[in-house]
Every structure is written in C-alpha cells, then in structure tokens.
Amino acid sequence: MRRQEVLRGAVTALSGAGVASPEHDAAELLAFVHGTTRARLFELDDVSDQARGRYDALVARRAAREPLQHLTGTAAFRHVELSVGPGVFVPRPETELLAGWAIEAARLSQHENRSCRVVDLCTGSGAIAKAVAHEVPEADVHAVELDPSAFAWAERNLEGTGVDLRQGDMATAFEELAGTVDVVVCNPPYIPLEAWESVALEARDHDPHLALFSGQDGLDAMRLLEQRASLLLRPGGVVGAEHADAQGESAPGVFRARPHWREVVDHLDLAGRPRYLTARLAT
C-alpha cells in the first residue's frame, strides 16, 4: 500500500481518538517501523504487508493513548536521547527550557569560579542531568530519584556520563554537599490532586503518579525544594524549577516568602505560558 494512504488512515484513527498531534505521531510510528526518521519518510514509496501489520498495531496502541515514546522506547531531549517506558515520566519539550537555563547557569558559574557543581533533584529519566553533563562536560553533576522504577531508567540513561546518581528522597539528598552547590535544578511533581480529571490520559494513565501530583495545591514538592535548595546552594548559587502554567504566581511565591532568596523570576515557555522559576540564594 502507498505510504500516503497508510498515513492518512493512521491520522484519521489518531484524530478520532483525541490524540493531540496525529500527523506527527503517525509519521513517527511509520518511521520507527521502517528504522528511519520522519524527515526521510519521503524516500519510502510503499509499505509492505508485514510492516503494515506492525504499524497498525502501534497505531492502535497510540489511539488507546499509550504515549508515543513508550511505543518507540526513546525520547529526544535537547542534544541527547533517552530510553523511556512504563514506570518513568516521559520528558516534555517544555522542560528543555529549564535544562537550557541550568546549562547556561553552569557555564556562567564555571567561568566565574572555575568550578561548577550541579544537583538535579527529582531526576526521573535523568533527562536534565544527562543534558547538563553532555553540554557542560566539566561540570560535577549529581542527581537523585525516589521512585525505584524511574531510578532504573535513570541508571540506564546516565550510565557512562559521570553523573553521580542516587536513589533517595530529594528532601534529604546530598547532605554532604551542603553549601557547595552552584546550581540546583528540579522538575518536581506539581499537579494539584483536585486536577485529576484534567490531566491528559497519556500522563494520568501511564506516567508514575509520584512524578505528577503534589498535594492539594500542587506545591508540596516546591516547598520541599525551597528548603533543600537553601541548604545545598553556596551563597549566590541559583535554583530553577518547573511548575504548572497556572502557578506563575504561587510557585515563585514559595521562594519570595522566604527572606534568603533574591532575584526570584518567573519565565515563560515558547507558547507564552508561565513555565519555570529561578532564584538566587542571598550572599
């Protein structure tokens, strides 16, 4: 069957199932089946019966709202590739902005102090830690993850990177690094429990709930982060954390309420929505 005809059928099925990006996902799955990239699909004229069978099965799973990255087993994040699957939060494109901030903050610290220590709390798949280690190879990077299943994925992704990965709670992690860290970065859980029904099925049914929900107002983990970052950072060190787009005031407010933080700033994502905060520990 011709490639375009196969794709049209898949797009129709995914659209009808409420998938947010049916054209993109249909093309990605067809490229995956053929061991190529979406950009090179134009080289494919026909889809064999065997490939069509594999493809239809994957499209059906995606239509059932199984995450695309679970089907392909990988997720791109900045300049690195991550292995992902059941049991770990799939990194989102918007988190690349927070990772980019951490990378630039690490480079600046390295330039000013000739050293750079970065701690990634709630590392999940290891996405931010791996990106920092890849783009700032001289940095001393540490990461922690509480969930055993997510930790196993982080181990796989961070193998050979030099990142000091540990399993544990961010509220007590890296006690021996207190007062020596230049950059703390975190993509914590931030969805209020009351928002259960509004969460996309891909996340609600497939991402670990430990990585999603954080108390009645969604800020329980942010409060823990504020406390831990104030302990870990050196004077003048910086922290960055992602939050929900509805938390553009409340999440930075956690830091503004404490007298030891300076330069508390909220940042927008590419769609103009509040996405992450940054703050500097007073000197």
Measure the CA–CA gap between 150 and 170, rounded to whole angstroms.
14
Asked whether residue 276 is marked as a ligand-binding residue, the answer is no
Asked whether residue 145 is marked as a ligand-binding residue, the answer is yes
Asked whether residue 55 is marked as a ligand-binding residue, the answer is no
Measure the CA–CA gap between 189 and 145, rounded to whole angstroms.
12
Measure the CA–CA gap between 2 and 80, rounded to whole angstroms.
33
Kind of pairing, strands 233-242 and 274-281? antiparallel
Sequential DSSP letters for 87-101: TSPPPPTTHHHHHHH
> 258-276 burial, b if ≥16 CB within 10 A, otherwise e?
eeebeebebbebeeeebbb
Question: Which of these, 153, 185, 179, 181, lies nearest to 167 by C-alpha position?
Answer: 153
Asked whether residue 188 is marked as a ligand-binding residue, the answer is yes
Asked whether residue 189 is marked as a ligand-binding residue, the answer is yes
Kind of pairing, strands 80-83 and 117-121? unpaired
Cβ contact 189:145 at 8 Å? no
Range list of H helices, the chain: 3-16, 22-33, 49-63, 68-72, 95-113, 127-135, 148-158, 201-206, 220-232, 250-256
> 7-46 burial, b if ≥16 CB within 10 A, otherwise e?
bebbbebbeeeebeebeebbbbbbbbbbeeeeeebeebee
Residue written as token pair 């049914």: 205
Q: Number of C-alpha atoms within 13 angstroms, CB side, residue 89?
A: 24
* Binding site, annotated residues for S-adenosyl-L-methionine: 145, 187
* Binding site, annotated residues for substrate: 187-190
* Binding site, annotated residues: 145, 187-190
